[in-house]
Amino acid sequence: MADTRLIHGRYRLLELIGRGGMGEVWAARDESLGRRVAVKCLKPLGPQPEQSFARVLRERFRREARVAAALQHRGVTVVHDLGEFEGALYLVMELLDGRNLSQLLEDGKGHPLPVPDVVDIAEQVSSALAYTHQQGIVHRDLKPANIMRLADGTVKILDFGIARLGADIGFTSRLTGTGIAMGTPHYMSPEQIGGASVDHRSDLYSLGCVLYELATGAPPFDLDDAWAILVGHRDTVPEPPRARRAELPVFFEEAVLDLLAKEPGARPPDARELVRRLAAGRGLPTAPAVLGATAPEPPRTRGLPSWARGMTTGHKATGSA
């Protein structure tokens, strides 16, 4: 699709603005309405996909895209259209003027964002998650690259519905048989790693990982080996953020550590509670830094799932692309 400049006689691809494991994102022009949009072109299904699988995938794509298009919140990217062209599925979305959080961290060469910015981003993302979770929608792939900060300071979450679609296209070992898992492990919840069913509390854990990195400059388990990262998520209590950056407010550190609880039931019950806690905490005086980290829980003896053995560390926000 990258070589085809006009999709269905309507969407003219102008400039490639992003490329990832699932496809490409283009700045485009909607010739019918005369406006600029973003077109996400997912990877083709393959030369000869099995017909029943392809049919199920297309229906799943339409369902997920319709769900995403029904979301109406200032913190969620607007989806305008969907379709299939020359064997590839595509989504048409609003074109955003800003930088994703991964880019912001890379711009700062790994230095954390200013504390007021981190707290503001935390509140905005929490508000958007509170809305989407209320609609019964779980993101499943929340990470800095999927959160955009616009030029006016508005924060938006990208790619609702795309994470599950990626699993269907074949980015899991269940479908590919390759042992390659779903991208970077730096933001995966323990229940995702263990192969258990996930709900909105998995998004909260991933948000905790994102906020930890924004606040300290590194994710909670900043290791080079994917297996060690997964074990860290599952078994190790993270170092308190204020042990790395003393100026962080106590209320923020407490919220992040609660988000990073190993058991879903130990995390905040929902994102609305997180919004309330962050709003209540703003303006409180900062207490002295806690320099001692909590002692790690003893390692568990059970093994990680087989797909994790072939997993690479992927791309974290402060790493190389």
Specify burial of residue 120 (Cβ count, 10 A radius: 0-12, 13-18, 19+).
Answer: middle
Residue 144 one-letter amino acid? P
d(CA 29, CA 52): 34
The one catalytic residue in 107, 141, 225, 235 is 141
Q: Cβ distance 33 to 20 under 8 Å?
A: no
pLDDT of residue 303: 55
pLDDT of residue 278: 95
* Residues forming beta bridges with residue 15, ordered by sequence position: 27
pLDDT at 307: 45
User: How far apart, in whole angstroms, are the C-alpha atoms of residue 84 and residue 62?
Assistant: 10
Chain mean position to CA 316: 11
What pLDDT was estimated at residue 268?
A: 97
The pLDDT tens digits for 29-53 are 999 999 999 998 877 655 555 677 6
Per residue, the 3-state secondary structure of the chain, as one string, reads CCCCCEECCCEEEEEEEEEECCEEEEEEEECCCCEEEEEEEECCCCCCCCHHHHHHHHHHHHHHHHHHHHCCCCCECCEEEEEEECCEEEEEEECCCEEEHHHHHHHCCCCCCCHHHHHHHHHHHHHHHHHHHHCCCCCCCCCHHHEEEECCCCEEECCCCHHHHHHHHCCCHHHHCCCCCCCCCCCCCHHHHCCCCCCHHHHHHHHHHHHHHHHHCCCCCCCCCHHHHHHHHHHCCCCCHHHHCCCCCHHHHHHHHHHCCCCHHHCCCCHHHHHHHHHHHCCCCCCCCCCCCCCCCCCCCCCCCHHHHHCCCCCCCCCCC
pLDDT given for residue 49 in this prediction = 56
141: annotated active-site residue? yes
Q: What are phi and psi of 165, to 5 degrees?
A: -65, -40
- How many other C-beta atoms can be found within 10 angstroms of the C-beta atom of residue 166? 22
List beta partners, residue 88. Answer: 85
Q: For residue 232, which amino acid is it? A: G
Residues (pLDDT < 70) of the chain are: 1-4, 21-22, 44-50, 53-54, 161-183, 283-315, 317-321
The predicted structure's pLDDT at residue 170: 42
Whole-number Å distance between alpha carbons of 143 and 317: 8
Other CB atoms within a 10 A radius of the CB of residue 250 amount to: 17
Q: Which domains does the chain have, with CATH numbers?
A: 6-94 (3.30.200.20), 98-310 (1.10.510.10)
Which is nearest to 230 in space by CA: 258, 194, 266, 272? 194
Enumerate residues 6+ apart whose C-beta is below 8 A from 249. Answer: 115, 119, 281, 284, 286
Report d(CA 60, CA 200) in Å as an integer: 20
